[in-house]
Amino acid sequence: MLLVPGYVTVEEVEGIAGFIAGLNPETPLVLLAFHPDFYMSDLPATSRKHMDQAVKAARGRGLRNVYIGNEWLLTDSDYPF
């Protein structure tokens, strides 16, 4: 799941994770950081804070295998969601 700041909220991740966990809590979920290389260049990259909140929310809904796919793209700057 691509975490695009301003488009994908932690609440949406939580809802999707709850649905997936209801099917099988062992299903892996890979969260990907967004980086504006070409399209949507007006948006910031995914912040580490946003990613950490999304991972915590997904695990909180019962998913046991939540991973960060491209951690090197995360930034330390915050974006007001």
Going from N- to C-terminal start, the domains of the chain cover: 2-73
Residue 80 banded pLDDT, cuts 50, 70, 90: low
Threshold 0.95, pTM exceeds: no
Per residue in 21-66, pLDDT (tens digit) is 999 999 999 999 999 988 888 899 999 999 999 999 999 999 999 9
Query: Which candidate, 41, 42, 53, places its Cα nearest to that of 12?
Result: 53
DSSP-assigned letter for residue 3:
E
Residues 32 and 51: their CA atoms lie apart, in Å, by 8
